[in-house]
Structure 1
Amino acid sequence: MNACPVHLLRGKLRRASLRPTRQRIALGWLLFGKGDRHVTAETLYEEAVAMKVPVSLATVYNTLHQFTQAGLLNEIAVDGSRTYFDTNITPHHHFLIEETNSLVDIPKGEVAVSGLPQAPEGTEIARVDVIVRIKRTAVAAR
């Protein structure tokens, strides 16, 4: 979103059938104005507070879930205790850096998933998320 982020963001929200409210615009600008990124609700809330955006943590959660349902974000659950929201909605996998609890995209084509089970009757596989946990080696830590 280089030239006119707010104008482009309003169009993006309208195309996703979301009304471009002030709070959605403000949070969307924080999310999408910096390129592809992974955020938690808490980190986005902290960014919003720092930018003097008047939102509650509950509003941030609601907005992230609305954006996800509208197809603007991917939700990535890690360990069931931490959820990340990814602005890159193309199919890809992630490294989880254990020391910082941050996600990094794995370049497309570097992970091959095979041997998936047949989905139960009446369902289909929507997406496969591979998360590779990494940590610094003792040599790199020196």
Structure 2
Amino acid sequence: MHKAHGHEDHGKPLSESAVIELLRHARLRPTRQRLALGGLLFTEHGRHVTAEILHAEAVAGGERVSLATVYNTLHQFKRAGLVRELAIDGTRTYFDTNTSNHSHFYIEQDGRLVDIPDGSIRVDGLPTPPEGMRISHVDVVVRLVEDTRK
């Protein structure tokens, strides 16, 4: 696959049988659309995609699917714990196939998220959550712009 503007190189897709197993393990029925979108989304490397990116990839691959269906499927995957949702600027939402608690670089001119290596960022002084609650993730996004200083 080519590397389009704003897209990351996402490696080799999982086999259909691997996607079926992933969906069944998450207690999701392996429908045609979930299989098609899951095949694009879940690869041998973690991915960060918007619904629009995934929709464009599906359409380019010949899949007849609406943007609304892509959004619905991504939210089903999120509820099942298969992806993590990251809101950037309140205007763009990314879905990350790496659901571990990790941080990101956001490359502003490309609109691209890249994982920050584990252990590179420490967050100290987190508040104690209210009774009956626990912290699920701490989202840290470090914004990058091209350094034009000489």
TM-score > 0.5, shorter chain as reference: yes
CA distance in 2, matches of 1:112, 1:68: 26
CA distance in 2, matches of 1:112, 1:57: 37
Structure 2 counterpart SS, 1:85: strand
The aligned residue for residue 41 of structure 1 is 51
Q: How many residues align?
A: 140
Structure 2 counterpart SS, 1:118: coil
Structure 2 counterpart SS, 1:132: strand
Question: What are the Cα deviations for residues 35-63 of structure 1, in whole angstroms up to 9, with x where unaligned?
Answer: 21100000000000100111100100000
2:104 is the counterpart of 1:84: no
Greater helix fraction, Structure 1 or Structure 2: 1
Residues 111 and 57 from structure 1, CA distance in 2 versus in 1: closer, same or farther, beyond 3 angstroms? same
2:98 is the counterpart of 1:98: no
Structure 1 runs not aligned, ≥5 long: none
The aligned residue for residue 70 of structure 1 is 80
Give me the TM-score of the superposition, normalised by structure 2.
Answer: 0.87
Do the aligned partners of 2:13 and 2:44 also contact (CA within 8 Å) in 1? no
Question: What are the Cα deviations for residues 58-105 of structure 1, in whole angstroms up to 9, with x where unaligned?
Answer: 100000000011011011111111100001112210000011111000
What percent of counterpart residues are identical? 56
CA distance in 1, matches of 2:129, 2:147: 38
Give me the TM-score of the superposition, normalised by structure 1.
Answer: 0.92
Which shifted more, 22-31 or 1-10? 1-10
Match of 1:27 among 21, 28, 37: 37
The aligned residue for residue 61 of structure 2 is 51
Structure 2 runs not aligned, ≥5 long: 1-10
Kindly report the root-mean-square deviation, in angstroms, between the aligned alpha carbons of the 2 structures.
1.8
Question: What are the Cα deviations for residues 109-140 of structure 1, in whole angstroms up to 9, with x where unaligned?
Answer: 00001101122333221210100001110148
The aligned residue for residue 127 of structure 1 is 137
Structure 1 counterpart SS, 2:68: helix
Amino acid at match of 1:35: H
Amino acid at match of 2:53: T
> Residue 2 of structure 1: CA displacement?
6.5
Which shifted more, 31-40 or 107-116? 31-40
Residues 111 and 50 from structure 1, CA distance in 2 versus in 1: closer, same or farther, beyond 3 angstroms? same
Structure 1 ranges of 4+ moved more than 3 A:
1-4
